[in-house]
Amino acid sequence: MVSWVWKHFEKFGEIAKCKHCLKKVKCRGGSTSGLVRHLKFIHHLCEKQEHDSNFQYLLQTKQISDSEKTEKVEKLIIEMIAQKHLPLNIVECESFINLIKLLDPVFKLPTVKTLKLKVNQFIPNIKSE
């Protein structure tokens, strides 16, 4: 059974990423209690509000597409790193940051730590160095 919280989070193994603020919350063993807490205290959302028209509106706003975009860009960065065996700290490289900023001034690059986690998830056989 899929919990309602998954409408607000994207799952990455034991980590779930909030679609509203992109914060990562642990969901060890598929437990959603931390996620429910996050939605409740950070976004004042609970199960009932799912059908709320304001909330439906919120789902259709830019925030979702931004999070989808972030996801796609992150995946491409990971692919690039994997294909060319680039160091993960390329995301801390000034030229790379400037390139991303030029393309999208508001895009938030993943940190090396986040990247390491995702690289291991998406491409288990590549080295994280």
Q: Does 119 contact Zn ion by CB under 5 A? A: no
Residue 23 tokens read as: 């914060």
Which of left, alpha, beta for 9 (phi over 0: left; psi -120 to 50: alpha)? Answer: beta
Tell me the two tokens of residue 43: 């976004």
- For residues 20 and 118, which CB has a smaller minimum distance to Zn ion in the complex? 20
21 binds Zn ion (CB under 5 A): yes
Per CB under 5 A, 27 contacts Zn ion: no
Residue choice 20, 36, 77, 119 for contact with Zn ion (CB under 5 A): 20
Of the candidates 16, 67, 8, the one whose C-alpha atom is nearest the C-alpha of residue 39 is 8
Interface with Zn ion (CB under 5 A), residue total 5
Residues that bind Zn ion (CB under 5 A): 18, 20-21, 23, 42
